[in-house]
Amino acid sequence: MRAVVCRELGPLDNVVVEQRDEPVAGPGQVVVSVRAAGVNFVDGLICQGRYQMRPPAPYVPGGEIAGEVASLGDGVTGVQVGDRVMAMTGFGAFAEQVVVSAGSLEPVPDALSFAQAAAFIQSYSTAWFTLARRAALSEGEWVLVLGAGGGIGLAAVDVALALGANVIAAASSEEKLGSARALGVECTIVYEAEDLKARARELSGGGVDVVVDPVGGRHSEPALRATRPFGRFCVVGFASGPIASVPLNQVLLNNRTVVGVDWGAWAFSDQRGNHELLAELLDMVRAGRIHPAVPAERSLEDAASVMTGLLERSVKGKVVLVP
Ligand SMILES: NC(=O)c1ccc[n+]([C@@H]2O[C@H](COP(=O)([O-])OP(=O)(O)OC[C@H]3O[C@@H](n4cnc5c(N)ncnc54)[C@H](OP(=O)(O)O)[C@@H]3O)[C@@H](O)[C@H]2O)c1
């Protein structure tokens, strides 16, 4: 089969397409024919050796897929060959086939294409974990989402709307705000051109209740300062590189709370809880309450250029690789 291989951690020109042996399902596993594999910001960091997780190279990158079950290992029940499934795979997703533990498969709802399903789990689980669990968002509250044209940002916009919040979508350009507008968001901020703190306070009538920050860097402090009394600032990621240092008096003032969000570690440590979280999300999809955008589709050969685009900020929305 064809697979994307990272030959060595480092520059992304070490990432190539190679022929590999077809995988075989062990006990409790299934082989999935990959119809789409979601590309996430973190995939490029891992290939570059800049992430806390450093797989031994050569390895096949990619952490989430949607596809059809191709074969079953011993002892697998409740899944049949041909089923439409989605899963987080750890590694190995950027390939024609991947082996997955049967327990980690979820059925793809009819409402989602393979491409939408492959781009769903990481972004939407993080957004749902942030807003519904960590920030305990209530209907009618104001939410400011940074990086609202990116994977987690756009999912957070969709989830916040579904939870009945008033949403302010913020991104670096008008173009990157297009998908949030398409979801119905009217309040937007282009943070490279406008005063983020002042505009967020103005649009929300005094300050926002919750900030979702997957970007980090120089926009974090003005976003924190834009929260109203008892506001919650959710630290989700640092896509811009620098980890912001904020003056702690800004947390004391107005009784604010800084909320750490580590969906990945939590999902690993509480697999049953994570399964329940994903089930809640998929129910929302089936009920038509959340609306995952249709990702751009690229070939396996484009893996390195898509990961580069994510790391260099040029990608809008989600991208999947279609083997
Ligand atoms: N906490 C968790 O559990 C969790 C889970 C998954 C991922 N993450 C982390 O969350 C972050 C965002 O992930 P994502 O999937 O949303 O990524 P993404 O799709 O690439 O979006 C990130 C956004 O960050 C903004 N950005 C600002 N400066 C940037 C720069 N120098 N380079 C790249 N992007 C820049 C971009 O929006 P603008 O151009 O509009 O500013 C971009 O759309 C990553 O750091 C990821 O590792 C956290």
pLDDT in the model for residue 52 = 87
User: Does the CB atom of residue 176 touch ligand 1 within 6 A?
Assistant: yes
138 CB burial (10 A radius; 0-12, 13-18, 19+): exposed
Non-local (6+) Cβ contacts of 25 within 8 A are 31, 71, 72, 73, 76, 99
From 42, 194, 238, the mutation candidate for ligand 1 (largest count of ligand atoms within 8 A of CB) is: 42
3-state DSSP helix/strand/coil percent for the chain, to nearest 5? 35, 25, 40
Q: Which amino acid is at 6?
A: C
CB of 196 closer than 6 angstroms to any ligand 1 atom = no
Whether 44 lines ligand 1, by a CB cut-off of 6 Å, is no
Q: Does the beta carbon of 149 sit less than 6 angstroms from any atom of ligand 1? A: yes
Ligand 1 pocket check for 133: Cβ under 6 Å: no
Ligand 1 midpoint to CA 323 (Å): 25
The domains of the chain, with CATH numbers, are: 2-120+293-321 (3.90.180.10), 122-264 (3.40.50.720)
User: Is there an atom of ligand 1 within 6 Å of 204 CB?
Assistant: no
CA dihedral 40, 45, 51, 54 (to 10 degrees): 100
42 C-beta closer than 6 A to ligand 1: yes
Say if CB 177 and CB 149 are below 8 A apart.
yes
Q: Cβ(171) to ligand 1 under 6 A?
A: yes
Pairing, β 187-190 against β 166-171: parallel
Q: Cα of 41 to ligand 1 centre, how many Å?
A: 6
**Which amino acid residue places its CA nearest to atom 18 of ligand 1?**
150
**Which residue among 123, 125, 158, 236 has the greatest number of ligand 1 atoms within 8 angstroms of its CB, and so is best to mutate?**
236
Please name the residue ranges forming H helices in 60-113. Answer: none
User: How much is the pTM?
Assistant: 0.96
DSSP state for residue 86 in the 8-state scheme: E
For the chain, the average pLDDT equals 97
- Amino acid (one-letter) located at 194: E
Q: Is the CB of 266 within 6 Å of ligand 1?
A: no
Residues (pLDDT < 70) of the chain are none
With CA atoms as reference, report the closest residue to 323 among 30, 88, 82, 33.
33
> Cα angle vertex 22, ends 16, 25, to 5°?
125
Look at residue 49 in the predicted model and tell me its pLDDT: 95
Answer whether 210's CB lies under 8 Å from 232's CB: yes
Can you read off the two tokens belonging to residue 52?
């806390």
In terms of DSSP bridges, do strands 142-145 and 319-321 run parallel, antiparallel, or are they unpaired? unpaired
Helices (H) and strands (E) in the chain, counts: 11, 15
Distance 113 CA to ligand 1 centre (A): 24
Verify whether ligand 1 is closer than 6 Å to residue 239 (CB atom).
yes
Q: What is the pLDDT of residues 179-203, one digit of tens each?
A: 999 999 999 999 999 999 999 999 9
Residue type, 164: G
- List the residue whose alpha carbon is closest to atom 31 of ligand 1: 240
Token representation of residue 309: 């685009």
Measured from the CB, is residue 236 less than 6 Å from ligand 1? yes
Residue 87 in contact with ligand 1 by CB distance below 6 A: no
pLDDT of residue 41: 95
